């Protein structure tokens, strides 16, 4: 259970955590907290729903396979497009910021540009993805434990150097800004199938791991966000840590880059492996082809100039993750209906679908206006 819980924490605490403080600072801390609480409840339910789905099936599937099995071919095709694009959006964000943190750690010593370290970061993680879950699981728990420790230290230092007077007031024209970034930052559905494997398919252990992993990750993310804004206020940078460096000194940037690298590499590993296995199990691809299709397209997006990770997170969270959320809720209702599973969690399903559809429509309307 501990390893499964750490797997979820490591997946959630990823690149998204660095974008959340910026949205709080721009939209206002009060607005940010409201969205955070709403989305935390929604994402926890999605995690539990997906856990129910993966334990109800004896077959090895990922989301696309479950959509095909329970919702039909058309739903599977739509899920394929949004799921894969969502994975690509996440991986692209990791490449952009992961390379930046790697540069902060080694650039002054070894030289080179940020772009070079972004390429190195991608190549490093791509190698690990090729080896699959067994190798990664041996190092991920240790990395996640270090990640949590580092995050707690940074949060503590930032709170000591900050003040509630720096909390920004509500900026209503930017009310929706935190939605997509927070949704992106705290969603860890990609880890659920891996967690099922780790706990040996035990439904109770999986549910406990999902609850504890989600709540711990949510609490860490919110504490980190408030600490950063307490220090930087309206000057909070899009990457969070660089703004801290201007107020607390270069040492926090170096230490924070270690945290950032750990946060991103743990999430990248789980997401990349999940996508690779989706191609293997749901599309019956060979391992090499699945690895290439999982890793190379987002890297090509990066090479062609897609480098604004806040926009990448916002679009991925609001539209793509929102659609994936609707699919998971729909599959959950189908599974529990067929197996006549009674649970009070079902009553929240319509509200979740309305929330996700609202986010999708609003983001598309904003982008096309």
pLDDT in tens, 250-279: 777 787 788 778 777 777 777 788 788 878
Asked if residue 137 has pLDDT above 70, the reply is no
Residue 136 pLDDT: 56
Q: Which helix (H) or strand (E) holds 38?
A: helix 29-56
Half-sphere exposure of 166 (CA within 13 A, CB side): 22
Q: How confident is the model at residue 239 (pLDDT cuts 50, 70, 90)?
A: confident
Residue 178: strand, helix, or coil: helix
Q: Among 322, 351, 352, 357, which residue's Cα sits nearest to residue 83?
A: 322
Residue 299 pLDDT: 92
Residue 238 pLDDT: 76
CB 104 within 8 A of CB 254: yes
Residue 135 pLDDT: 53
CB 158 within 8 A of CB 245: no
Measured between alpha carbons, how far is residue 52 from residues 79, 190, 321, 336 in Å? 19, 14, 19, 8
Residue 4 pLDDT: 87
Other Cβ atoms within 10 Å of 29 Cβ, number = 21
Domains of the chain: 2-368 (1.20.1740.10)
Write down the pTM of the prediction.
Answer: 0.86
Q: Is 261 exposed, middle or buried (0-12, 13-18, 19+ CB in 10 A)?
A: buried
- The residue among 79 and 244 whose pLDDT is bigger is 79
Other Cβ atoms within 10 Å of 26 Cβ, number = 19
- What percent of the chain has a predicted confidence (pLDDT) above 70? 96
| Cα three-residue angle 323-52-216, rounded to 5 degrees | 80
- Compute the distance between CA of residue 116 and CA of residue 129 in angstroms, rounded to an integer: 20
pLDDT (mean) for 23-48: 96
- Compute the distance between CA of residue 323 and CA of residue 357 in angstroms, rounded to an integer: 8
Residue 139 pLDDT: 63
Q: Is 320 exposed, middle or buried (0-12, 13-18, 19+ CB in 10 A)?
A: buried
Structure tokens at 128: 């690990």
Asked if residue 242 has pLDDT above 80, the reply is no
- The residue among 11 and 334 whose pLDDT is bigger is 334
Residue 134 pLDDT: 56
Q: How confident is the model at residue 27 (pLDDT cuts 50, 70, 90)?
A: very high
Q: Look at 183-187, 287-291, 341-345 and tell me which has the smallest mean pLDDT.
A: 341-345
Asked if residue 57 has pLDDT above 90, the reply is no
Which residues are CB-contacts of 285 (< 8 A; sequence separation ≥ 6)?
A: 279, 293
31-41 residue pLDDT tens: 999 999 999 99
């Amino acid at each position: 259970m501990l390893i499964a819980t750490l797997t979820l924490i490591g997946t959630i605490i990823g690149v998204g955590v660095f974008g959340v403080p910026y949205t709080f600072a721009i939209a206002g801390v009060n607005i940010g907290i409201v969205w955070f609480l709403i989305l935390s409840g929604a994402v926890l339910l999605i995690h539990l729903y997906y856990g129910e789905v993966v334990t109800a099936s004896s077959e090895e599937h990922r989301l696309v396979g479950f959509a095909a099995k329970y919702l039909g071919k058309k739903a599977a095709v739509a899920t394929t497009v949004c799921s894969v694009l969502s994975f690509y959006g996440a991986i692209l964000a990791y490449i952009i910021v992961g390379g930046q943190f790697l540069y902060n750690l080694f650039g002054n010593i070894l030289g080179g540009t940020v772009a070079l370290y972004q390429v190195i970061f991608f190549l490093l993680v791509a190698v690990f993805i090729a080896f699959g879950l067994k190798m990664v699981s041996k190092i991920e728990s240790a990395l996640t434990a270090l990640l949590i420790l580092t995050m707690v230290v940074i949060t503590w230092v930032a709170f000591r150097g900050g003040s509630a007077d720096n909390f920004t007031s509500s900026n209503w024209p930017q009310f929706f800004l935190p939605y997509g970034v927070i949704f992106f930052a705290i969603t860890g559905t990609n880890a659920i199938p891996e967690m099922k494997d780790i706990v040996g398919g035990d439904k109770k252990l999986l549910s406990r791991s999902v609850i504890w992993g989600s709540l711990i990750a949510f609490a860490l993310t919110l504490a980190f966000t408030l600490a950063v804004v307490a220090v930087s206020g309206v000057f909070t940078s899009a990457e969070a840590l660089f703004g801290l460096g201007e107020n607390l000194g270069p040492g926090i940037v170096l230490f924070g880059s270690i945290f950032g690298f750990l946060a991103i590499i743990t999430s990248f590993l789980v997401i990349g492996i999940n996508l690779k296995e989706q191609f293997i199990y749901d599309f019956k691809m060979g391992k090499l082809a699945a690895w290439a299709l999982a890793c190379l397209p987002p890297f090509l997006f990066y090479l062609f100039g897609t480098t604004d990770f806040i926009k990448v997170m916002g679009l991925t969270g609001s539209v793509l993750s929102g659609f994936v959320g609707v699919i998971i809720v729909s599959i959950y209702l189908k599974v529990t209906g067929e197996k006549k599973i009674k649970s009070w969690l079902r009553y929240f399903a319509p509200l979740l679908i309305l929330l996700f559809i609202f986010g999708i429509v609003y983001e598309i309307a904003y982008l096309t206006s």
